Structures are given as C-alpha cells and as structure tokens.
Structure 1
Amino acid sequence: MIPFRFLHAADLHLDSRFAGLSQLPQAIRSYLRESTFAALGRLVGVAIEEKVDFVVISGDVYDVSDASLQGQLRFYEALKELGAHGIHVYLIHGNHDPLDGPRLQMELPEHVTVFGAGEPGQAVACRRSDSREVAVISGISYPTAKVTENTALLFNRKPGSTLFHIALLHGNVDGDLQHETYSPCSRKDLIGRGFDYWALGHIHKRSILHENPVIVYPGNIQGRSVKETGPKGCYVVEVNEEGYAQLRFRELDSVRWQVREIPIEGLADEAEWTRAVEQAVEDIREELPQLMSVVRFRLTGRGNVHRILSEKGAAADLLTELQRRETVRAERSEYAGLVWTEGFSVETGLSIDRERLLQEDSFLGEMLRLSRHSGQSAEGLDDLLSAALKPLMENRELRRLLAGAGEEEKLGWLTSAAELGITLLSGVEDEGGAAGPMFSNGAAAARHEREAEE
C-alpha cells in the first residue's frame, strides 16, 4: 500500500451561538463569535504544515439556524486556500447543515467533493506528490435535518480494490443519549462493512471507538458550551505501507471551556474563599496563557463558608467582580490568557460529623449506610436507583434521560440525595434557623445547562 497522510475533522459549526453567555460584553462576544472561524483557519494551517494529501470533513460545517453569509464565505475562502496548496477536500452534510437547508448558491472548486444523499457516493483520492491513487472515500449526506435510519448499512467496500477505504458518516454510534440519535448504528455495524477508517461526525466529544478498523470521532473544532470542555481540534492520520493508521490529535481551539472544583473545607471566612477563587483564576491563566478560558467553578464540600454562599449571595457578588476585571482586559484586546468565569455551581453544606451519623441507630444513619453500601458496586447502585426511580419511568422523556446516565452520573445522584438527607434530617440549622440544601445549583447555572442542550 502506498503511504499517505490526511486530516479528519467534523462539526465545525461556523458562526454558531455559544450557550449560556447571552449577557457578555460586546468585545468578548465578538471574540467568541470569531473563534469558530479562527479554528477553521488553524485547521487550514495544520493541513498545510503537515503536508496532508487531502482533508475529510464529516458534517455540520454550519448550523442551519445560524447559517450566516459570512460563515459560508469564510468556509469557501478556506477551501480555496487548501486548493491553492493542492489539498483536496471531501465532505458530507449532517443534521445541522442538511442538503435542503438554506445556503449561498455557489459553485465549489474542482478539488472539493461533496457526497450526496440516498446512497453513499465514492471518490478516489490521490497522493499530492505523485498523483498516485491511495484511498477510496465513501460518504453520504443528510437530505434533511432528521435522518433516523441506519445509513451505515448502505456502505460497501469497492469490489476488487486494494486501496485504503475511508467512510464518512455523520451519526450516533452505540446510542450516545447526549446527542440526537440520527443515523443510529452500532460499532458492530461499522466493523462488518470492510472499511479501514470510519471518519465520524456528530458527537462533539473526541473518541476513538475502535482501532482495527479505526472508528473515530474527532469532536468539534471549537467548544461552545460548558458541556464541551477540554481541547478541541482534528486528527492528522498517517497511513503506512502496511495500511496501519496512526492518529495524532492537533488542537485548533482559541477558547477553552472547563469546569473546576473548589472545595470549601478549611476555608475560614469569605476572604479566604475569595482568595481561593482568585488563585484558581490565575492558575488557569498560567496554564493556558495563549487561550481564552471560560470556566464554571463547582463549589463543593462542607464548611463555614456555606453560610456566606447561601445567605449573603457572595458567589453572585464575586462573579460580577471577576467578570468586570476580565472585561477590562478584553477592552485592551488582551484575549490571550483571559479567564471568563461563566458561573458558580454551589454544591456546599454546613460542617457536620458524617462518620458519627453513620454510626447512629437512626433513620438517617440507616439511610447513609444504605447509600454507602449501594455506591460500592455498579449492581448495587442500579438496584437502588431502579427501585427509587421506578415511578418516574412512566414518563418517556425521563426514561430516555435515565437510560443514558453513566455510572459516574448515577453515583452523583446518590451522593446528592444522601447529602440532602443529612441537611434535612440531622437537625443542624444555619444561623437563620433553617437548614439549607446541600446541593443548590443557582438559577443561572440551570439556565446555562438548558441552553447548552438546545
């Protein structure tokens, strides 16, 4: 097999909205809007720097609801630049940019192949240096925004060809319930089709699902909400003489989303808590000096600071001040190293001796012992939650959400319930005479979550 190199990207979502940041100052809003275009520019730069033979894009270049003329023109400009360096592009349309969606009618350059709908199309890709054929690329686009059939079963390897085979598919493999189940399929479906590399799109979390054949989601190129944390980018894929594909991830994002935990144990007062948050901001700035960071702080644990957070609104006050400081930096165009605090998730409670409660011969002690025992194994956790949540299973939407929860998320539910029980049943009261809930996410945080899901 002739060795070659290609770039795999997906879910560009050019010029799309950022969830949960509707009240941003104009300077920062403009920078965020430009970030998806900046990531596209870096993608082109990586393709040129790596001397790739071609690029594959697995759907959702735009969002139909935000398909601006600027976004389409900037993408067309990027395609032309790739073409100027002899880099061919093969792409499909996904659920956010289906073929029937509104877009500027323009003739694409000859080096760009867009696969249609109905049946997977095929194209033969060549190596740039000598024009030798190296790969057969197959792909299928969404004709409309909702494709619910298993389109993976339509793919077939080109008969008699010994070239490397790449399939472009925008879909949900193995039923990831955090995303719409469009073009649903299983890993088994993909493995059995005879392709060497499945270039997937749709799921925004980077993931290598299988190594032989390679089945991979590169994730989106720029995070857009607190649910899209960590580095975002693309894969550069090196295929050797034996047909083995080696993947290297390349970061493309200019805005990095993250969630950071700040425990309140040991913090004596509001001043110490404020310093802890300010230090966390500076730590992030030092870790990512070339990027803008958007962070949500999770305030956890038990301690005296809980009263300040629950009664005085200290979190809201500090949030306003932190955002003011970063706004000043942005007005000076200092976006590199800027750390925008998106919000606080307050998950704190009053100081209490949990171990003593575990030893009590009481309803609360029994509840905590059951919680601890059930949380020690996946089977015990499922048994407890199945019994506790049985009444909710009559609601189809709740049933779908519960079915998609992982073990870590379920353990979080159990922990939250146990801590709430401690607060409500222990008889410990705060200074105002009422026990406050242990886990109390603010309305703003809840609103951001809903916006991120839409």
Structure 2
Amino acid sequence: MKSFRFIHAADLHLDSPFKGYMSIPSKEITVYIKNSTFMALQAMVDLAIREKVQFMVLSGDIFDLADRSLRAQIRFQKEMLRLREHSIQVFIIHGNHDPEDGSRADLQWPENVHFFSSDQGEMIPVFDRNGQEIAHIYGISYPTKSVTSSLINKFNIQDVNQYNIALLHTNLDGNPNHDNYAPSQKEDLLKLAVNYWALGHIHTRQIVHEDPHIVYPGNIQGRSVRELGERGCYLVDVDGTSTTQLTFVSLEAIRWIHNKIEITNFQSEQDLKDAVDLQLKKLNGEKGNKPSIARFTFEGRGPLHYFLNEDMNIKELLLDYQEYMIDTVKDDGSFVWIESFKVNTNPKISKGQYMDDSHYLGDLLRISQHLLNDSNELQAFKEEALLSMKSHLKAGRYLRDMDTEQQRIEWLKTAEDLVLHLILEEGE
C-alpha cells in the first residue's frame, strides 16, 4: 500500500448571514465578517495545494441554507476549479443545512468533484497520480433537511483490506447540544471495516476514536461567540501500513474570543478600564494574531459591582470602546472588535457577619451551610426544589446530565449568593 495525504473538513456554512453582526457601524469590519467563510475556504484550498494532498473529503453543510446563495455556489465552484488544476479530487456529502432537495443554480461542476447521492451509500475508488488505487471513499447525503433515522446500514464496505474512508453527517452518541440528525453510536461505527470515519455536523473538533479513526474536524470558521478559538480542518497522513496521523490546521479568517476579567481587586473605574486595555493590548500583540471578535465578562466580588450593574454605565463603556475601534482598523484589515460586555459580578459581602443573625438572613445562611455539610440532605432538597422542572422535555434532560454532587453544591452556592445579594440590595 502506498502512503497518501488528504484533508478532512466539514460545516463550511458558506455565506453564513452572521445574524446580529451586520449592524456594526464599520464597513471594513462588516465586509470582513461577511467574507470570512469564503476566506477560510480559500485558505483550505491553499493548504491542499501547498501540502500536495491527493484528495479532500467534505462531510456536509458546505452551504448555510438549503436554498443556497448564488454567491456561495459560484465561489465554491471557483475553488474547486483551482483544485482541479492541481489534480486534487474532492468528495462531498450533503448535510442538514444543504440537503439534496434544496434549490441550487445549474452550475457545471469540474470532473474532480463528486457529490454523493442520497439514494444509497456509494463507493468511489481513489487513485494517485500514477493510476494506483490508494483508498475507497464511501458516503451518503441527506435527501432532505430532517434525517432522523440512522444511515449506518447504508454503508456496504466492499474490501476490508483496502483503506476505507466513510463520510457521514451525524449526531454521534446523542450530543444534546445539536439536532439529533442521522443519529449514530460509536460502537456501530466500529463494527464496520472503516479506517477513517470523516464526520460532520458537530462544530467542535474532536477525535472520538483512534485506529480506526472517528473524527469531527469542526467548522472552518466560527460564526458567533459560541464557537470560540481556532477553527479549521485536519491534514491526514496515511503511511504504507495504514497508520494514520492527524494534524489540525487553523483556517479561520476571524477568531472569536471570550475573556473574563476578575474585579475583586478593583477599587475604581480606572482599574476597570486599565484591565480592559491590557487585554486588548495582549490580543493585538499576539504573534500571528487574526482579526478577532471578543466578549468580555466581568466576574467576582468587589466595590465596582454596583457601577457595572447600572445598565447605562456598561452601555456607555461599550460604545466608547467600539467607537475607538472603528477608527483603528488597520490597513491590513486586522482588528479586535468588542462584541459585548457581560456582567456576572456580586457585591463584596462578608457572610460571617450575618451567620448569627436571628432574622431571615441568618436562617438562610445556616440552612445553606447545613446542606453543604450533608450531601444526602442536599440531594433531597434539590429533588424537591426542581421537581416541577424534571418533567420538562428539554430542561429535564439537562438536569439529568448535570446531576452530580459538585453541580448541586455550585447550584446551592449560586442561589445563596443571589438571594443574599437581592436581600441586601433591597435593604440598601
């Protein structure tokens, strides 16, 4: 068997609308955000050419909508033509965002591109530039947006001695944070003679299993503050013994960042501003820094809690920074844009001074302390307090997943802080 190299990517979501971010009062920034998915695509094609890969597998959701934008289709076609010039083949499945029955332009795709159908699982052999067979690629597309049954039985592996790659857009093992489309179980994937499961749908990269490999590459461009950090694809090397080595390569044009700032030691608004300025300086000074969209969350207890919880103060602070940032977008397009300031602070309170209080506040703190010292009573208290929520379809599922002793302690402490804060604030 000959060694070969390929790229595994998924969830390109080309021409994503970036809802909520097109109202930024800076044409340079909004244009950059709007083009970021295309820039990430171009970076991936550049990588494929530079690294001389034999082929690329794309595991669904190439486009953001079933009714694909013409702009996205034309840009994707241009990049596929670039790959054809270097004899790089591309194998693609449709996912829930770009199902087979979605509307599309009547474009002619180059012969190096193969879209798997939704009728049945297909197998396409891959040959190197010398005509030698190096791998078998299997895949099946979504016929419509909502595929709620497993597609595993659609894969008919023909040669167990070949290096087999299977493309599947799936929610593996019932991830509760994603729609349960084409559900699958890891043990079912491992039963088939597949060397590399090239998965899509989950936007967080994850190597679920090695030898054989089950891999989510994540999306190539984060689209909100929920998709933080580096985003990209896997460069996969397979040697003559079928040993598989993965290298993650960052592709995102814009990086989403969430920074937390602890206010405990801040005594003045100047301390707060200095902390924000320091974080921005670090972001701008990082080696190889990319344009970034940042969220800052203020946390902890301190005298600035009341200042930060005045809605007008936080709005004015954000507006001042954003106006400054509009004027400092660099010629090369690099920038750091603060998306929002979030406040998760509490006043500086000494619980000890209220513990012996004979009124309600003292009773509350003593009950809370008793529950913290007795895990069985804390469990019973939690069951009674959350009884009505456990029957809720979604909330009940999350409660079951989060039901650990540490989580119960954190819930109790958070509730204690909240009630304590509300009582004392009302008193003031």
Distance 1:384 1:194, change over 3 A: farther
Cα RMSD, aligned residues only: 2.5
Structure 1 equivalent of residue 236 of structure 2: 237
For the 8 Å contact 1:119–1:154, the answer to whether it is kept is yes
Normalised by the length of structure 1, the TM-score is 0.87
Evaluate the alpha carbon distance shift between residue 353 and residue 156 of structure 1 in structure 2; reply closer, same or farther with a 3 A threshold. farther
**2:347 aligned with 1:350, yes or no?**
yes
Q: Secondary structure at the match of 1:313?
A: helix
Q: Are residues 1:391 and 2:388 paired?
A: yes
Partner of 2:415: 417
Pair 97,312 (structure 1): closer, same or farther in 2 beyond 3 Å = closer
Moved more, 83-92 or 268-277: 268-277
Q: Residue type of the partner of 2:271?
A: E
Alpha-carbon distance in structure 1 between the residues aligned to 2:355 and 2:6: 58
After TM superposition, list the pairs within 5 Å mapping 1:293-372 onto structure 2: 293-311=292-310, 313-330=312-329, 333-336=331-334, 338-354=335-351, 362-368=363-369, 370-371=371-372
Aligned-residue offset at 1:422: 2.6
Judged with a 3 Å threshold, the aligned counterparts in structure 2 of structure 1 residues 239 and 392 are, in CA distance, closer, same or farther, namely same
Q: Which moved more, 1:286-295 or 1:98-107?
A: 286-295
How big is the shift at 1:116?
0.5
Cα drift, residue 311 of structure 1: 2.8
- 1:299 and 1:383, CA in 2 relative to 1: closer, same or farther beyond 3 A? farther
Matched, 1:121 2:122: yes
CA contact (8 A) 1:36 1:221 kept: yes
State the Cα distance separating 1:284 from its structure 2 match: 1.5
Specify whether residues 155 and 369 from structure 1 end up closer, same or farther in structure 2 by C-alpha distance, changes over 3 A only: farther
Please give the residue correspondences for 1:118-267 in structure 2 after superposition, counting only pairs within 5 Å. 118-128=119-129, 130-159=130-159, 161-267=160-266
Who is 1:38 aligned against?
Answer: 39
Once the two structures are TM-superposed, the CA of residue 202 in structure 1 deviates from its matched residue by 0.3
- Please tell me whether the aligned partners of residues 364 and 421 of structure 1 are also in contact (alpha carbons under 8 angstroms): no
% identical equivalent positions? 39
Judge conservation of contact 2:232–2:251 (CA < 8 Å) in 1: yes
| Unaligned runs of at least 5 residues, structure 2 | none
1:388: how far off?
3.0
- Alpha-carbon displacement from aligned partner over 1:249-297 (angstroms, at most 9, x marks no partner): 0000010011111010010011111111121121112226541111111
State the 1:423 CA deviation. 1.4
Whether the 8 Å contact between 2:59 and 2:168 is mirrored in structure 1 is: yes
Provide the TM-score with structure 2 as the length reference: 0.92
| Distance of aligned partners of 1:18 and 1:387 in 2 relative to their CA distance in 1, 3 Å threshold | farther
Deviation at 1:329, TM superposition (A): 2.3
Classify the secondary structure of the residue corresponding to 2:389. helix
- How many residues are treated as equivalent by the alignment? 422
Instruction: Tell me by how many angstroms 1:395 deviates.
Output: 2.4
Whether the 8 Å CA contact 2:66–2:98 is kept in 1: the answer is: no
Q: Which of structure 1's runs of 4+ aligned residues deviate more than 4 A?
A: 354-361, 371-374, 379-387, 403-415
SS in 1 for 2:343: strand
Specify every segment of 5 or more residues in structure 1 that has no aligned partner in the other structure, as ranges.
436-454
For the 8 Å contact 2:66–2:102, the answer to whether it is kept is no
Deviations 1:97-142 (A, max 9, x none): 00001111222111111110132111011223x2211111100000
| C-alpha distance in structure 2 between counterparts of 1:410 and 1:15, whole Å | 42
Q: How far apart are the structure 2 equivalents of 1:169 and 1:215?
A: 10
> Is the 1:177–1:404 contact (alpha carbons within 8 Å) kept by the matching residues of 2?
no
2:207 match: secondary structure: strand
